[in-house]
Amino acid sequence: MAAKIGQLMDEKLGKQKNDVLPVLKDLSKIILTEGKKFNVCEKAAKDLPEIAGNALLSFSSSGNTSKLRPLKVGVLFSGGPASGGHNVVVGLYDAVKEMDPKSEVIGFMNGPDGLLKADGKILSKEDIDSVRNQGGFYLLGTSRTKFEKESDMAKCSETIKKFDLDGLLIIGGDDSNTNAAHLANHLKKDGSKAVVVGIPKTIDGDLAYLPYLQTSFGFYTAAMTYSEMVGNICRDLPSSRKIWHFVKLMGRSASWITLETAFQTQPNVALIGEEIKEKKMTLSQVIDMVADVIEKRYKAGKKYGIVLIPEGIVEFIPEIKSLISSINKAIVNIGNDHFIKMHINDRKEKVLVELIQEHERLFIELPHTVQNGLLSGLDPHGNVQVSQIASDVLIMDLVWDRLSQRGIKLTTQTHFYGYDGRCGYPTWFDATYTYNLGRAASILVANSKAGYMVTVNNINGSFDKWQAQAIPLAGMMAVEERKGKDCLVISKYLVNLNSKAFKEFEKNRDKWAIEDSYLCPGPVQFFGPDELVKSRSITMTLNA
Amino acid sequence: MAAKIGQLMDEKLGKQKNDVLPVLKDLSKIILTEGKKFNVCEKAAKDLPEIAGNALLSFSSSGNTSKLRPLKVGVLFSGGPASGGHNVVVGLYDAVKEMDPKSEVIGFMNGPDGLLKADGKILSKEDIDSVRNQGGFYLLGTSRTKFEKESDMAKCSETIKKFDLDGLLIIGGDDSNTNAAHLANHLKKDGSKAVVVGIPKTIDGDLAYLPYLQTSFGFYTAAMTYSEMVGNICRDLPSSRKIWHFVKLMGRSASWITLETAFQTQPNVALIGEEIKEKKMTLSQVIDMVADVIEKRYKAGKKYGIVLIPEGIVEFIPEIKSLISSINKAIVNIGNDHFIKMHINDRKEKVLVELIQEHERLFIELPHTVQNGLLSGLDPHGNVQVSQIASDVLIMDLVWDRLSQRGIKLTTQTHFYGYDGRCGYPTWFDATYTYNLGRAASILVANSKAGYMVTVNNINGSFDKWQAQAIPLAGMMAVEERKGKDCLVISKYLVNLNSKAFKEFEKNRDKWAIEDSYLCPGPVQFFGPDELVKSRSITMTLNA
């Protein structure tokens, strides 16, 4: 039998040595220097007094060697998986063992749940070697649990005391790092020796804080995985010359993945949710925008093309957002438990009665599958399940109808890429970034620096220019309304229409719409020429 | 801005030199030796008298050098694209130019249509260099047109005469090679100097004729592209631990792609259409087979997993096949033109009236989207559009219902991989196989050998053991019923339950079902270690 490629890849990549930032090589010589003090908002000053005064920390190498002590550091994954997560743990492990062989890394199982339930295990060399440069979060698992109540904080404290931890790494997105800030403050107030360090993870690309935090890990691997598939379809277009492909891409509210994929593949249309919101476009205008491109191409004899659609688009179309909110209220009035037991036709009837005429009209015009998605009941947070709305089908069906009215018949196909890009082997960029994040985090723990997010700066440039840094979590936070309450959170980094990346896209999209400018990036390479292997995100480098 | 990976990949792979089979290196020294005579069926002897007497041809190198003349060779793509197609053209071009710089390769545009319409162009060095090792069929385009009428054959003859061709390469699947055989016979009967050579293409893997033709090109690239995505999901399973993924894979009636992907990723369930047919399973039995695995895992605390579903599965379930046939008749009775103008609810009502009770019951139990697919009207050949049936949704919804009855609630997600695997950069295997097919085909043209399919044998072994061969097309053909008529065709190569590949799968699947034996092959590598880059299909090597 031929070799199983998965076994070979695991082995070859598992043995590949990770590049270490020069400044992080000799751990005994690293000194942390305080830089800029961050302004914190009023609520942060009040709610997070213990960590609100933190200043930016930079890492450098001194001539002197300091004695390092053994550390016990906990680590957990939070939220959806992203490629590179394992390497954070590996980098942390390698570093604390270099500091002192008696050091220990404790992995908490199933995300924040493991911390609440004191479900942790000391990671062995075998555990660590089995996940070097491997995708996924399977070593520990993950969950979306939040520490919201005081009692949760107390349970975390107890676990941290039980395991005698010097520090805890929370690997997560904006919500998880908001959590990390609160826990850091809580522990410091409690007099715990353990410091909490946040690690910026999310494939969505919506966790950044320029110029300090340029990107979260996992974004580039996910975007390149989707770009491979989209690029392959782009090659198919002028080959079979007869299909319009509507591709939905993961990324929740942010359109960064769609934008990066657009740069990598040059599709005919890429919808950017933030633009639609900013320009207050109606659903009908969005449909026209797509239909006009298709019609123009049709008249030029091109009956094929590709449209990229960010997963969260429906939330950006004001009238749909308003419809969703009305349906939300209607379901609450009916009672969700009762509602989800009804037959779909009855659900529809009951909801329509509650809607104002304008919303009723809009709802009836939506494709069947989208109607069903909107009627699938509320999620545990009491919201209509936006992720259940097939936005690719929504756009495709409405565009099809619009063009049909113009006498144009299309052959169409939908795709959704999302889960398939969260756990691939990390690109060199993500593997290297995360390995060094883990190493740098160990220094924060060794120096008892609480309430920081560790980052690497200048990652758009060549590797020898990369700089480890630590940003005060409290400084990244702002007050936002969540479920009608003012909350202190890390804001989502969304596509700004004035950003260089968006401007570059805007400059090119009319050309991409009509000409066949398609690119096919192909599968991520791990062993080839440096230009391929050590590549970086286009959106990130443009925005740097 | 960071480099666009697609541009770099095109350039790097475009400059990569292809390996040439030792026997095909010096074209002036190649001799063709007749081997085994193939038994042809009665209808082939009658319908294809000009090529029915062909014997197997093997390629070897003689001590003598023969003078080579300039050749004019046409080439066209037929059917869906498959990775490696461009390299057939490149291999042909390089070879005929080596024979004599005055040689020409004429590309016919948009598949068989280009031949019918005499739409051909002389390919330049720039044309050829732009597609070396590139995926897709975009240099020429493709179509699914068949030459069925005598008048089509006459038009082809005319074009061939007009371009003064010595030969024509038809790059296609089973149907296209059936066409190639008929055209070869027609031309020879006509006294044309042009010989037709068939090139075995299809991602489905259903064009093979053991031991002579081991696989079609494009199969391995497609299977590895899908395996990358499936493998990434496999890594996600034990990371997020909460979703059951139902993945539909392209491959029409054959389950080879599903089987190869199963070997590469070791999923919990992989349905094999041919097994379901052979064992005459009902839809309910298929659903139970999947539901039982999910229930077992659920009871072991594993609420996640993955199910692979071959695209054509519905055709293999006898009761569904019978239902489809009844719906087909019903729509014919109603009149398709009239039918497709009706509202979907009216279509359903009209069709239900025409069905026998057993079919009515089965139809009503199907998910909404599947009902709609079955009611989408007839295709141009007068058949229910089986490809419109969302078999992933069908299986998923019914499994969900079945488990719900057993008190188990699932979180599910569907995926469909197909179009995204037809046009990727060809793996080393497909790029090398096709380049040598193109070269070998030039020898058949130079020697005026009509009615052959060119192949490379021993491709499961190391490259130095690969052997160029030519198989008589007539010998590959058999009589099959098509639309109620006896037709002479190349039979589809489907999964045989006695094949070594199926036996190996059968031996392992119970283990894969319950244990997490997942593998993640990752993206195809073009520059890494030989074991990765020069890998071969597992099903092909098992069956060799």
Cβ of B423 within 8 Å of Cβ of A241? The answer is no
Report the percentage of chain B scoring pLDDT > 70.
100
Whether B386 has a pLDDT exceeding 80, the answer reads no
Successive 10-residue mean pLDDT values, chain A, 544 residues: 90 96 96 94 97 97 90 97 98 98 98 97 98 98 90 96 98 95 96 97 96 97 98 98 96 94 98 96 96 98 97 89 91 91 88 92 86 85 77 91 93 95 98 98 97 96 95 96 87 96 98 98 96 96 94
Q: Which of A12, A219, A239, A430 to mutate to test the interface with B (most CBs of B within 10 A)?
A: A239
Q: Is residue B535 part of a domain?
A: no
- SS3 at position B489: strand
User: Tell me, what's the pLDDT at A285?
Assistant: 96
Query: pLDDT tens, B293-332?
Result: 999 999 999 999 999 999 989 888 989 989 999 999 999 9
Q: Which helix (H) or strand (E) holds A485?
A: strand A485-490
Report the percentage of chain B scoring pLDDT > 90.
86
The answer to whether A235 and B136 are in contact (CB under 8 A) is: yes
Q: Which of A13, A420, A429 to mutate to test the interface with B (most CBs of B within 10 A)?
A: A420
User: Tell me, what's the pLDDT at B485?
Assistant: 86
In this structure, the answer to whether residues A182 and A149 fall within a common structural domain is yes
User: Tell me, what's the pLDDT at B444?
Assistant: 98
User: Tell me, what's the pLDDT at B484?
Assistant: 76
Residues near A400 by beta carbon (within 8 Å), at least 6 away in sequence: A410, A412
What average pLDDT does this structure show over B262-289? 96
Q: Please state, in angstroms and rounded to a whole number, the distance separating the CA atoms of residues A309 and A307.
A: 6
Query: Using CB atoms within 10 A of its CB, is residue A28 exposed (0-12), middle (13-18) or buried (19+)?
Result: middle
Cβ of A265 within 8 Å of Cβ of B6? The answer is yes
Q: Name the residue among B134, B519, B532 with its Cβ closest to that of A12.
A: B532
Residue type, B159: T
Q: Catalytic residue at A204?
A: yes
A12 vs B contacts (CB less than 8 Å): 528-529, 532
What are the two backbone dihedrals, phi and then psi, of residue B337, each rounded to the nearest 5 degrees?
-60, -45
Q: How many domains does chain B have?
A: 2
* Residue-by-residue DSSP string for B117-171: TT-EEEPPHHHHHHHTT--SSTTT--------SHHHHHHHHHHHHHTT-SEEEEE
**Partner residues linked to A120 by β-bridges:** A108
Q: Name the residue among B233, B424, B522 with its Cβ closest to that of A522.
A: B424
User: Tell me, what's the pLDDT at B231?
Assistant: 98
Q: What is the dihedral sign for C-alpha A168, A170, A171, A177?
A: negative
Peptide bond into B211 cis (omega under 30): yes
Cβ of A235 within 8 Å of Cβ of B10? The answer is no
What average pLDDT does this structure show over B144-173? 94
Q: Which of A86, A88, A130, A236 to mutate to test the interface with B (most CBs of B within 10 A)?
A: A236
- Min Cα–Cα distance to chain B from A519, Å: 5
Please state which of the ranges B133-137, B145-149, B298-302 shows the lowest mean pLDDT. Answer: B145-149
User: Tell me, what's the pLDDT at B87?
Assistant: 98
Where residue A100 sits, what CATH number does that domain have? Answer: 3.40.50.450
Q: Which of these, A470, A412, A482, A473, lies nearest to A442 by C-alpha position?
A: A470
The answer to whether B248 and B415 are in contact (CB under 8 A) is: yes
Token pair for residue B339? Answer: 């039918």
A369 vs B contacts (CB less than 8 Å): 369
Q: Which of B520, B524, B526 to mutate to test the interface with A (most CBs of A within 10 A)?
A: B520
Q: Is residue A353 part of a domain?
A: yes
What average pLDDT does this structure show over B31-47? 95
Cβ of B235 within 8 Å of Cβ of A423? The answer is yes
In this structure, the answer to whether residues B94 and B132 fall within a common structural domain is yes
CA torsion angle A175 A179 A182 A185 (round to 10) = -120
Query: pLDDT tens, B60-89?
Result: 998 889 889 999 999 999 999 999 999 999
- Min Cα–Cα distance to chain A from B191, Å: 34
Residues near B105 by beta carbon (within 8 Å), at least 6 away in sequence: B73, B74, B75, B89, B92, B93, B96, B122, B123, B128
In this structure, the answer to whether residues B239 and B132 fall within a common structural domain is no
- Min Cα–Cα distance to chain B from A181, Å: 24
Supply the range of the domain harboring residue B138.
Answer: 5-218+423-490
Task: Tell me the count of A-B CB pairs closer than 8 A.
Answer: 254
In this structure, the answer to whether residues B407 and B463 fall within a common structural domain is no
Q: Please state, in angstroms and rounded to a whole number, the distance separating the CA atoms of residues A76 and B137.
A: 47
Whether B342 has a pLDDT exceeding 90, the answer reads no
A263 vs B contacts (CB less than 8 Å): 4
In this structure, the answer to whether residues A201 and A328 fall within a common structural domain is no
Nearest CA in chain A to B242: A143
Q: Which of A152, A204, A206, A397 is catalytic?
A: A204
In this structure, the answer to whether residues A170 and A185 fall within a common structural domain is yes
Q: Among A469, A490, A511, where does a domain finish?
A: A490
In this structure, the answer to whether residues A338 and A470 fall within a common structural domain is no
User: Tell me, what's the pLDDT at A202?
Assistant: 97
First vs last C-alpha separation in chain B: 49
Q: Is residue A51 part of a domain?
A: no
Query: pLDDT tens, B215-258?
Result: 999 999 999 999 999 999 999 999 999 999 999 999 888 999 99
* Residue-by-residue DSSP string for A14-73: HHPPPP--GGGTSGGGEEEEEEEEPP--HHHHHH-TTTTT-EEEEEEE-SS-------EE
Nearest CA in chain A to B529: A527
Q: What is the DSSP secondary structure assignment for residue A503, as one 8-state letter?
A: H
Q: Which of B47, B174, B175, B204 is catalytic?
A: B204
Q: Cα–Cα distances in Å, from A1 out to A218, A442, A543, B409, B461?
A: 34, 45, 48, 39, 11
Cβ of B135 within 8 Å of Cβ of A232? The answer is yes
Nearest CA in chain B to A241: B141
Where residue A287 sits, what CATH number does that domain have? Answer: 3.40.50.460
In this structure, the answer to whether residues B388 and B263 fall within a common structural domain is yes
Q: Is residue B530 part of a domain?
A: no
Q: Please state, in angstroms and rounded to a whole number, the distance separating the CA atoms of residues B174 and B490.
A: 6
Q: Name the residue among A136, A241, A536 with its Cβ closest to that of B239.
A: A136
Peptide bond into B426 cis (omega under 30): no
Helix intervals (H) in A167-299 = 174-189, 219-240, 256-265, 273-278, 283-299
User: Tell me, what's the pLDDT at A525?
Assistant: 98
Q: Please state, in angstroms and rounded to a whole number, the distance separating the CA atoms of residues A456 and A470.
A: 8
A5 vs B contacts (CB less than 8 Å): 224, 227, 264, 519, 521-522, 532, 535
Q: Is residue A54 part of a domain?
A: no
The answer to whether A12 and A133 are in contact (CB under 8 A) is: no
Cβ of A81 within 8 Å of Cβ of B232? The answer is no
Q: Name the residue among A137, A369, A535 with its Cβ closest to that of B5.
A: A535
Q: Is residue B469 part of a domain?
A: yes
User: Tell me, what's the pLDDT at B370?
Assistant: 84
In this structure, the answer to whether residues A136 and A247 fall within a common structural domain is no
- SS3 at position B248: strand
Give me the residue label for tokens 């440039």. A461
Cβ of A1 within 8 Å of Cβ of B538? The answer is yes
User: Tell me, what's the pLDDT at B504?
Assistant: 98
User: Tell me, what's the pLDDT at B345?
Assistant: 84
Q: Name the residue among A239, A421, A540 with its Cβ closest to that of B138.
A: A239
In this structure, the answer to whether residues B167 and B295 fall within a common structural domain is no
Residues near A384 by beta carbon (within 8 Å), at least 6 away in sequence: A324, A327, A328, A331, A374, A378
Q: Among B490, B506, B537, where does a domain finish?
A: B490
What average pLDDT does this structure show over B165-185? 96
In this structure, the answer to whether residues B116 and B205 fall within a common structural domain is yes
Cβ of B422 within 8 Å of Cβ of A232? The answer is yes
Q: Is residue A36 part of a domain?
A: no
B233 vs A contacts (CB less than 8 Å): 419-420, 423
In this structure, the answer to whether residues A480 and A429 fall within a common structural domain is yes
Q: Name the residue among B2, B3, B523 with its Cβ closest to that of A228.
A: B523
A529 vs B contacts (CB less than 8 Å): 8, 12, 527
A202 vs B contacts (CB less than 8 Å): none
Cβ of A135 within 8 Å of Cβ of B245? The answer is no
Query: pLDDT tens, B448-482?
Result: 999 999 999 999 999 999 999 999 999 999 999 87
Given the DSSP bridges, would you call strands B485-490 and B477-482 parallel, antiparallel or unpaired? antiparallel
Q: Is residue A47 part of a domain?
A: no
Cβ of A141 within 8 Å of Cβ of B239? The answer is yes
Q: Name the residue among B134, B224, B232 with its Cβ closest to that of A420.
A: B232
Q: Name the residue among A10, A243, A531 with its Cβ closest to that of B3.
A: A531
Cβ of B239 within 8 Å of Cβ of A142? The answer is yes
